[in-house]
Amino acid sequence: MSATLTDVALYLRRLGHDQSPAPTLATLRTLQARHTAAIPFETLSILLRLPVPLDPPSIERKLLHDGRGGYCYELNRLFLALLHTLGFDARAIAARVLMGEAEDAVPARTHLLVLATVDGERHIVDVGFGGMVPTAPLRLDTEAVQSTPHEPYRITRHGDQYTLQAQVAGQWRRLYAFDLQPQAEIDQVVGNWYVSAHPDSPFMGQLRVARTGPGWRRTLGSGGVALHRIGLASERWPLADADAVIAELQQGFGIRVPAHPGLHAAIEAWLGSGASSST
């Protein structure tokens, strides 16, 4: 995918760079933090039951030109392409999402993330995990608690299996489990199809949106909006109807909402279903 990025300069400007930065750990930290702030996580296409194409031109057009966000297969694929363009040693891996699952559950590998090696040290990099997305690269080969611009994280290991956890309100919460098996293009196509189109996908019929900023996370789910600030009580408020949701998408998350004839009806159906929570 790296060879097909057509507007690297625009992508870098969205992330606060006027020219290509060196492939260092400091660069990686800056890019990841800025990416989660500049390009939101959102599942509007899935809510509208639209295809989610993974070809590079489609992702680049949607995220960089159309004012939209995306989810892991879009966000992390585009980010991986940028990392390759900048000279990083990085590749895609997959994870089983554990957040909200029973302790003994074995969900499918439906989350795409990035393994990047910088100066001989391996890091997990992720810009596509919704409301709990890490906002800094996380060292893989340690179980120590790692700070980020937001919550602390840690990675535990059992054999060749790793589990990412975040500390939320003083408690460690499992996010996802992964190994280091390389992900071929077909693996990503199959995972993307399951998440975006399979009737058992947790995203079907749901609208989930998230964005970060300095010291805060903003999420949309459960029929309303939540604003989480570090060290402060979370704020939540409801959204009464489709017009309120669209206004929040535009003003609160900076999304250019697509002009789709079924948008209002899809949002109203989501609100009426009880709207499950965003990640």
Catalytic residue numbers, as ranges? 72, 111, 126
Residue 197: C-alpha distances to residues 68, 189, 208, 224 (Å): 19, 12, 15, 24
SS3 125: strand
The whole-angstrom separation of Cα 48 and Cα 52 is 11
49: number of Cβ within 10 Å = 12
**Among 187, 25, 210, which Cα is nearest to 121's?**
25
**Among 86, 84, 80, 59, which Cα is nearest to 70's?**
59
Region at 148 (left for phi over 0; alpha for psi -120 to 50; beta for the rest): beta
